[in-house]
Amino acid sequence: MALRVIQWATGGVGRAAIEGIVAHPQLELVGCWVHSEDKVGRDVGELCGLGPLGVQATNDVDTLLALEADCVMYSPIMPDPALVARLLASGKNVVTPLGWFFPGKRNVAELEQACSAGGSTLHGSGIHPGGITERFPLMVSALSSAITHVRAEEFSDIRTYGAPGVVSDIMLFGKTPEEAAKSPMVELLGNGFGQSMDMLASELQFDIDAEPVTRHEVAVATRPIDSPIGPIQPGRVAAQRFTWEYTVRQQPVITVRVNWFMGEENLDPGWNFGPEGERFEVAVAGDPSSHVTFHGWHPESVAAGLERNPGIVATANHCVSAIPYVCAASPGIKTYLDLPLIAGRAAPALTSGSA
């Protein structure tokens, strides 16, 4: 029997998740929540460019809560912990890229109670934070002893991110440096990356200092730069670099960084991605040291990225691939450390059922 899945929201990650659910041999899409009124009642497949799937989109939360389903792939722009608790209490497992990667001492009593009441499981996944900041560093760390430093870093061209409201109002591109200095991304991302870093520190057994180090740097345009929010004018923020760092007796031991640029031209300072271009990196310093670079999660061009961004697809797939494992897990909040190896599935034409 296929696992019955509800997709929550149809933004970039949501649309990619629906593709992944439809392609997964163990999953069946049975419901979909949407935010926009103009999407209500429409076939979800048509919303995602897949053709009819026989599932209608709805914004009626109670209807979806009552629907028989094994799991919710939860990916709105911002999480609502109270709603997640309701989903869990209704007996539905939840997989999400929006947090709960490694809650640790954070206040999750309500969610734990909801898991207990519903016999359900909550799992946070994704790419960054997620795989790049947790799973892959831990996997690579097994090849080293006497580890002294772990780094997880992203280098991305934000011109390929087709979410103008997020780019302008949350990421604060196109603002003055003074306005960008108040960016909520320091806290929003810091919560997710903080959990990732907590997982690394706990599993690697670093005796971290009480206060993490946070840095937010910006570069401004020197000439107008085309972007998803229109031309960014000279003197306005066109590149940002966020760094979070854990230390042991003031020595850096875990570093997580994002480099988000509107291209590599006409910036002050003159930042660039270097000869390897856009990428994700995981580096572990130890005996021996390892340095792994991930390519393929960035589009070939700005236009291609606005059409379908591989990084967003990878984020969705990481969540969708986890669904069978999460549904098989015992109730509670489960991290990568609690679940077995999560894997994708072969293309349908290459499986035994296709012969």
DSSP 131-185: IIIIIHHHHHHTT-EEEEEEEEEEEEEGGG---HHIIIIIS-TTS-HHHHTT-TH
Contact 69, 6 (CB under 8 A): yes
* Residue 355: predicted pLDDT: 57
* Residue 106: predicted pLDDT: 76
The domain defined by 3-126+314-354 folds into Rossmann fold (3.40.50)
* Residue 186: predicted pLDDT: 79
Give the tokens for residue 234.
């000279």
136, burial (CB in 10 Å: exposed 0-12, middle 13-18, buried 19+): buried
CA angle 82, 324, 191 (to 5 degrees): 40
* Residue 164: predicted pLDDT: 87
pLDDT tens per residue across span 13-71 = 999 999 999 999 999 999 999 998 999 999 999 998 899 999 999 999 999 999 999 99
Dist CA 191 CA 100 (whole Å): 9
Angle between helix axes 310-328 and 12-23 (nearest 10 degrees) is 60
- What stretches in the chain show pLDDT beneath 50? none
Measured between its terminal Cα atoms, the distance across the chain in Å is: 20
Dist CA 55 CA 320 (whole Å): 18
Contact 134, 345 (CB under 8 A): no
Block residue for tokens 């020197």: 222
Domain locations in the chain as residue ranges: 3-126+314-354, 131-296
If you ran DSSP here, which 8-state letter would residue 167 be given?
Answer: I
Long-range contacts of 48-55 (CB under 8 A, 24+ apart): 48/10, 48/15, 48/18, 48/19, 49/15, 50/18, 50/19, 50/22, 53/18, 53/22, 53/29, 55/29, 55/30, 55/31
* Residue 152 three-state SS: strand
* Residue 19 three-state SS: helix
Give the tokens for residue 58.
């709805």
* Residue 189: predicted pLDDT: 80
CA angle 152, 153, 155 (to 5 degrees): 160
Dist CA 353 CA 71 (whole Å): 25
pLDDT tens per residue across span 272-306 = 999 999 999 999 999 999 999 999 999 998 888 88
- Give the Cβ contact number of residue 110 at 10 Å: 14
Give the tokens for residue 266.
């006409």
* Residue 354: predicted pLDDT: 62
* Residue 200: predicted pLDDT: 96
